[in-house]
Homo-oligomer: A and B are copies of this chain.
Amino acid sequence: MTSTREELTGEIQQRLIRFIAEVVLYNHAVSGKVGLGASDSQFMTLLQTYGPLTPRQLAEHTGLTSGTVTGVVDRLESHGFVTRRPDPRDRRKVVVTPSMEAIQDKLVPLYAEQGERMHAVLATRSVEELKTISEFLADSIAEADS
């Protein structure tokens, strides 16, 4: 029976790796179904995480060339996943905005199964435990942003 702090933290780290692996694989499979390549999928993740971004910002986040970014945005736009809008403040810039409608229609349904499974797991937890889990996630996100 693992019970000491050291044992538990080690156990959590291992399980986290395993859990993340599952998610990453699922993610990859879903992206393929919608016809999104690796960079396309990465862009969508960035846009959903950080909100609308300019091509330059996307290039900095991904390490890709500006030319490549234009191409990727072209693809995403032609599939309806993002929209391009000129920045009213600086007309050199372009703002790439994720299309919530397309995400809702095409992406979310593919994650429904995963969402249900997570819901089932959470349903067996007490309110107290849910708070613990939620705070843990919040802190992990905050730490990752730093």
| B-binding residues in A (CB < 8 A) | 2-5, 8-9, 11-13, 15-16, 18-29, 32, 37-38, 42, 45-46, 48-49, 61-63, 114-115, 117-125, 127, 129-134, 136-141, 143-146
Interchain CA distance A117-B133 in the complex, whole Å: 17
Nearest CB of B to A28, in Å: 5
Contact B32 A63 (CB under 8 A): yes
Contact A129 B132 (CB under 8 A): yes
Contact A12 B132 (CB under 8 A): no
Contact A130 B8 (CB under 8 A): yes
Number of copies: 2
Contact B29 A122 (CB under 8 A): no
Interchain CA distance A91-B28 in the complex, whole Å: 31
Q: Which residues of chain B have C-beta atoms less than 8 A from A13's C-beta?
A: 115, 118-119, 122
Q: Which residues of chain B have C-beta atoms less than 8 A from A63's C-beta?
A: 29, 32
> Which residue, A46, A123, A125, A133, has most C-beta atoms of chain B within 10 A?
A133
Contact B12 A137 (CB under 8 A): yes
A130-B5, A134-B12 in contact; A27/B29 too (CB < 8 A)? no
Q: Which residues of chain B have C-beta atoms less than 8 A from A134's C-beta?
A: 2, 8, 11-12, 15
Q: Which residues of chain B have C-beta atoms less than 8 A from A144's C-beta?
A: 19, 22-23, 26, 114, 117
**17 extra interchain contacts, Cβ-Cβ under 8 A, other than A117-B146, A120-B143?**
A2-B134, A8-B130, A8-B131, A18-B141, A20-B23, A22-B144, A23-B24, A25-B42, A25-B46, A25-B61, A28-B38, A38-B38, A114-B144, A117-B140, A117-B143, A118-B143, A132-B132
